[in-house]
Structure 1
Amino acid sequence: MEDKIRIIFVDDEPNVLGSIRRMLRFKQKEWEFAFAESGAEALALFAERPFDVIVSDIRMPGMDGSELLQRIKQDYHKTIRIALSAQVGLDEVVHSIRSVHQYIAKPCDAKELVSKIDGALKSRDILNDYAMQELVAEIETLPVLPHVFKSVENELNSSEPSIHKIAELISMDVGLVAKIIKLVNSPYFGLPSQVESIFQAITMLGLDTIRALIVGTHLFSMYDATALPDFSLSMLWEHSFRVSNLARSIAEYEGLDRLQIVQARMTGLLHDVGKLVLANSFPKRYRNVLEIVTSENIPVYKGELEVFGTTHAQIGAYLMGLWGMSGDVVYGIGYHHSYDKFDMSVPMLVSVANMIDHQCIIINKEYNRIVVEKNIMHGIGEEKLEEWIAHIAGNWEGIVKFNILDKEMISLLRL
C-alpha cells in the first residue's frame, strides 16, 4: 500500500489546530496529519520522520514561523513549505519570503487549504525525479538581466515613476515576472483575488511596496552570461514574450473568457522558466544539452532529457506549482511540448503559440524546429490556422518584423 502524504500543521493557538483537524477530517484516508504548538515541537517530530508538507503560522512566540521554515529548508530540502498567517507588515514578508514556497491567508476554509496543498503536491506528478525536486525546492532566486533590473530600479527612483513603464520593464524578464507574481499573491497583502498580471499587481500594491519587494528583498541574482555564452537570456525573453502574445491573440480570436486569456498570456510568458533553472544551476551540463541539440538535430527539450532525465517544461511547472501559481498555468507550462488534445485549453494554446514562434523565428539555424502533436494540428486545420495568422498579423503590428506573414508559413506548419 502506498504511503500516505505526511502533513504537519504548526500554530501556537490550540484552537486553530483543532479547527484544522476538524476541517480536514475528510482527507484522513489520503493524508497523515501531525500537529505542533511550537517550532521546537515541530522539529522534534521531523527528527522522528520527515513530512512532505509543513504548514506553519508565521507569528509565534519563541521560534517564529520564518525561523522554523528556514530550518526546515536547510535540513529537509524536499518538504513543501507553506505559511499560514493573517495579514502582516511588509517587513515580515521580506523576512520570511526566502523560506516560504507559498502562502495561505488566515482564517481559511477547508476548500482553499486543500486546494493549495493539493496544487503543490500535484506538481510532483509532472516532475518525477527526486533529485530535481530537491534542487527546485531549494530555489529562492531566479537570474535576471542586469540591464532590465537596473532600468526598473532607475524608474522606481525617478521623481515621477510610471506604473505602465515599470510593468513594461518587469515584463521584459521572465525571472522578475515569476518571482513578483509569487510575492504579490501572498495573503500578507490582503488582495481580494489571485493576481496574474504585472500591471494589476503594481496598481493594487502601489509603487512603494513594489520598490521594497524588488530592491529590498535581494531575491534576484544577476545573470552571468559568461557561464554559458551559447544561452541568451535576452533571446529567451523575446521568445517568451512573443509566445505570450500569440497565445493571447488566439484566445481572444476564439472568444475565450477573460480568465483563460489571462492564463494563456501568463503561461506563455513563463513556459520556458525551467530553462532559467537548468542553465543557471548547471551551466556545464546545459552546455552539453546545446551541443547534443546541434549534433543530433533534435529539439532542446529532447537534449535536456538525454542529459538531465527531465525537461525545462517539467522543471518550470514544478517550481511554479510550489510557488502557488494556478493549476491551469502550471499544467500549461508542464505540457507545452507534449499536449495532444484539440480543446482550446491553456496548454493547447501555448503549445500552438510556441510552435508558431519556433517555426517562424529562427533563434538558431542549427536547432530543430518545434512541431505540435498531430491531433492538435488535425483539429485546427489549415483554414483555421490561416485565420489565426491573419488575426495575429492584423492586431499586432510589431509581429510583422518577425516575418509571421511569410508566404511559406502555412506549408511549414503542415504535418
Structure 2
Amino acid sequence: MPLILNMSKIDNALEGFTIPPRPDMLQQVQNEVEKAEPDLKSISQYINQDIGIAGFTLKVVNSPLFSLPRKISTIEHACMFLGLNRLIKLVNSIVLRFTLSAGNEEIFTEKLWNSSMKIGNASLILSQHFDLGKDFSDDCYTAGLFHNAGMALIFSQSSEYPKLLRQAYIESAIIGEFEEEKFETSHEVLGFLIAQSWGLNTEISNVIAYHHSPNIMLATGEASEKQMFAILKLAEHMTNATEILTGVNPDNEWERFSTQILDVLNLEDFNLLDLGEVLFEAGIDNIYHM
C-alpha cells in the first residue's frame, strides 16, 4: 500500500519551507555580523557554504517584498542586492529563528546536506575547470546544493524514507518511478516546487526536476540544461554521492548513462582521472583521487 504523502501539508510546508542551518556555520556568520566593521564578502562566502542559510536568503530576496523583475539564483548576487545593513538584519532573523532547534538534526538529514554540499562544491569546480563562465558556474553550484531538497520534504512525513531509498538503489530502480509508487510523488517534483518557491531560475529548476531522468533531460533539454545536468551527474559520480547517502555502491544510474553524460561535456572515461586531480587540489575527496 502506498505511503501517500499529504499534499496539503506539502503545500503548507512549501510556503514556509526552510532548512535549519548548521550551528557552527551560523555562529561563524553571527561572529562576522557582530564585528565593528562587518565584511559583506565574508558574510556571503559563509552563507554560500550552508544550505539552510543560503535557501533562506534566496527565498527572502525573491519574495514579493522586493518584487524583482528577474529572480536571483546565486548567493553572491542576493547579498549584493540586499546590501550590508539588510543582510545583517536577515542574518539576525535566521539566528533567532533557528537557535532553539540547533543540534536536533537527524542522521539522514546530516548525510543529505553533507552530500549536497560536496556535490555543489564539485559542480562549481568542474564548471570552472571547463571554463563555462562565472554565472553558469554559480548556477551549477546552486543546482548541486539544492537538487535533493525534495528528499527533506518526503523524510519530514515518512521516517521510512531512507530505508526505502536504499532499497530503490539496491534494486537499481528508476528513483522517480520508485518514489511515485511509494508516495505518489517524487523528490524531483518536490525539489522543482521548492526551486520555484525560492525563485531559482528555469535552468536550475528544470535540472532539479529531471535529475534522475537522464533519458528525458538528454533528449529534450536545452543545451545549457543538458550541460548543467551533465556536470551535476558527474559531480555526483565523482564524489560517490550514492554511497554517502544510502551506503549503496555502485551507482547504476551512472553506469547506464555515463557515456551520454560524458558526451555532453566532450569527455572520455580516461579524462576522469585528471578531473579527480582537479577536485582533489580544490580540497574535494573523490573516487578518482582520495
Inter-CA distance 386–399: structure 2 relative to 1 (3 Å threshold): farther
CA distance in 1, matches of 2:45, 2:268: 31
Q: Which residue of 2 is the match for residue 277 of structure 1?
A: 153
CA distance in 1, matches of 2:68, 2:15: 27
> Quick one: higher RCO (CA 8 Å, sep 6+), 1 or 2?
2
Q: Which residue of 2 is the match for residue 178 of structure 1?
A: 55
CA distance in 1, matches of 2:171, 2:37: 49
* TM-score, normalised by the number of residues in structure 1: 0.55
1:199 partnered with 2:94? no
How many residues end up aligned between the 2 structures? 272
Q: Which residue of 2 is the match for residue 394 of structure 1?
A: 278
> One-letter code of the match for 2:45?
E
Q: Which residue of 1 is the match for residue 15 of structure 2?
A: 138
CA distance in 2, matches of 1:348, 1:395: 16
Structure 1 stretches of 5 or more lacking a match? 1-127, 407-415
Give the deviation of 1:240 after TM superposition: 1.8
CA distance in 1, matches of 2:13, 2:142: 20
Give the deviation of 1:274 after TM superposition: 1.8
Higher strand share goes to which structure? 1
Give the deviation of 1:349 after TM superposition: 2.4
1:266 partnered with 2:142? yes
> One-letter code of the match for 1:269?
L
CA distance in 2, matches of 1:143, 1:156: 19
> One-letter code of the match for 1:251?
S
Q: Secondary structure at the match of 2:200?
A: coil
Inter-CA distance 392–183: structure 2 relative to 1 (3 Å threshold): farther
Give the deviation of 1:335 after TM superposition: 1.4
Q: Secondary structure at the match of 2:124?
A: helix
Give the deviation of 1:362 after TM superposition: 4.1
CA distance in 2, matches of 1:213, 1:276: 23
CA distance in 1, matches of 2:102, 2:181: 25
Bigger Rg, which one: 1
CA distance in 1, matches of 2:247, 2:101: 24
Higher helix share goes to which structure? 2
- 1:182-211 CA distances to partner (integer Å, 9 max, x unpaired)? 222357558786433223332343222111
CA RMSD, 1 decimal: 3.6
1:358 partnered with 2:240? yes
Do the aligned partners of 1:140 and 1:219 also contact (CA within 8 Å) in 2?
no
Q: Which residue of 2 is the match for residue 27 of structure 1?
A: none
CA distance in 2, matches of 1:299, 1:166: 42
> One-letter code of the match for 2:281?
E
Inter-CA distance 308–214: structure 2 relative to 1 (3 Å threshold): farther
Give the deviation of 1:379 after TM superposition: 5.3
Structure 2 stretches of 5 or more lacking a match? none
5 Å-filtered alignment, 1:21-100, equals none
Give the deviation of 1:220 after TM superposition: 4.8
CA distance in 1, matches of 2:131, 2:113: 27
Q: Secondary structure at the match of 2:199?
A: coil
- 1:279-303 CA distances to partner (integer Å, 9 max, x unpaired)? 3x32xx23x1223345673579567
* TM-score, normalised by the number of residues in structure 2: 0.75
Q: Secondary structure at the match of 2:270?
A: helix
Identity of aligned residues (%): 21
CA distance in 1, matches of 2:75, 2:57: 8
1:256 partnered with 2:138? no
Q: Secondary structure at the match of 2:20?
A: strand
Do the aligned partners of 1:289 and 1:307 also contact (CA within 8 Å) in 2?
no
Q: Which moved more, 1:369-378 or 1:201-210?
A: 369-378
> One-letter code of the match for 1:356?
M
1:329 partnered with 2:204? yes
1:291 partnered with 2:166? no
CA distance in 1, matches of 2:37, 2:13: 38
